A = this chain, B = another copy of it.
Amino acid sequence: MFHGLSAFPLTPLREGTFDEHSFINLLRPVVDAGVDSLGILGSTGSYAYLTVEERGRIARCAVAHADDIPVIVSIGALRLDDIRSLADDAQSAGVSGVLLAPVSYQRLTEDEVFNLYETVTRQLSVPLCIYDNPATTGFSFSDELLFAAAALPNIGSIKLGRVPEDLSQVRARLPDTVTLGIAGDWRAASALQAGFDVWYSVVGGLFPQTALAIARSKESAQSERLEPLWALFRHYGSLRVVAAAAEMLGKVETPALPFPLQAIHGEPREALAAIIADLALA
């Protein structure tokens, strides 16, 4: 399951609460396109802003509309009891895997992060993807911690926002059963070329055909034509950009993001509209 293209759709809101109708409409073309997995309630799916109850409901909804495509759900939270409830709910919903970033308020230490993964993986019946996301967690995995955590039971993949300088050396220290995935859509083609197994993709959650063309061909040219979009992703954060795209295309209500987060507006939103038209993304 942790290979190829994993598409991370938005979790759209309507007046601040889960908009199931729009969510199902977002899932349909992604499922029909035949992505390799669905990444539900990732950072792009605003998991951190939703309650345990909402997240259970959204996981069940995703599994019900995923046909045979494996569903991966984030179980990240600050409290261990919330993480446990989220893992239980996700597994009861029938997900195929879970994703966990070391969400923090107080920045965590290496020991604390290892203890977290050790405790959480012990109760899992599905594989877990370790998510190294310093931009949202304030915590960066060292290579040593990554190797130690990857050796825990039930680890299936690692989601990295960088391509290690010596990928073969990193690979040699990971269990054979643990795949390597890339986050940051603008890095995907080069990471897949370098030997990454999976692309955890934001654009794939809204424009799955475009993402599949990159994931299947691994051609730089396929990615380079999207550079105007990647520039917006890097500058404003991919979430604010895909939310604006989904709003403009009428696929979700406006505003779709949890306050105080805002989809891009004004000049960059106009630039995005031109990019979507130029690249025939929609």
Q: Bound complex: CA of A119 vs CA of B111, how far in Å?
A: 39
Q: Is A258 in contact with chain B by the CB < 8 A criterion?
A: yes
Contact A105 B260, beta carbon cutoff 8 Å: no
Beyond A260-B113, A260-B116, whether A48 also contacts B105 by CB under 8 A is yes
Contacting residues, chain B, for A107 (C-beta < 8 A): 135-136, 237
Q: Which of A78-100 contact B (CB under 8 A)?
A: 78-81
- The 8 Å CB contact of A106, one of B43, B105, B138, is B43
Contact B262 A111, beta carbon cutoff 8 Å: yes
Contact A239 B49, beta carbon cutoff 8 Å: no
- The 8 Å CB contact of A260, one of B16, B80, B237, is B80
What class of interface size applies to chain A in its complex with B? Answer: 20 to 34
In whole Å, how far is A18's beta carbon from the nearest beta carbon of chain B? 13
Q: Is A115 in contact with chain B by the CB < 8 A criterion?
A: yes
Q: Bound complex: CA of A260 vs CA of B113, how far in Å?
A: 7
Contacting residues, chain B, for A48 (C-beta < 8 A): 78, 105-106
Residue of A48, A119, A239, A240 with most partner-chain B CB within 10 A: A48
Contact A237 B106, beta carbon cutoff 8 Å: yes
- The 8 Å CB contact of A108, one of B113, B115, B135, B261, is B261
Contact A105 B105, beta carbon cutoff 8 Å: no
Contacting residues, chain B, for A16 (C-beta < 8 A): 80-81
Copies of this chain in the oligomer: 2
Q: Bound complex: CA of A110 vs CA of B48, how far in Å?
A: 20
Contact A261 B112, beta carbon cutoff 8 Å: yes
Contacting residues, chain B, for A244 (C-beta < 8 A): none
Q: Bound complex: CA of A79 vs CA of B108, how far in Å?
A: 22
In whole Å, how far is A199's beta carbon from the nearest beta carbon of chain B? 21
Contact B105 A49, beta carbon cutoff 8 Å: yes
- The 8 Å CB contact of A136, one of B106, B261, B262, is B106
Q: Find the B residue at minimum CB distance from A80.
A: B259
Contacting residues, chain B, for A258 (C-beta < 8 A): 78-80
A sample of 10 inter-chain contacts (CB < 8 A) reads A43-B106, A80-B258, A106-B240, A106-B261, A107-B237, A108-B260, A113-B260, A115-B260, A116-B259, A116-B260
- Given A78-B258, A105-B136: 8 more A-B contacts, CB < 8 Å: A80-B258, A80-B259, A80-B260, A103-B105, A106-B136, A106-B237, A108-B260, A136-B138
Closest 9 interchain pairs by CB?
Answer: A48-B105, A112-B260, A116-B260, A80-B259, A115-B260, A105-B136, A49-B78, A49-B79, A138-B138
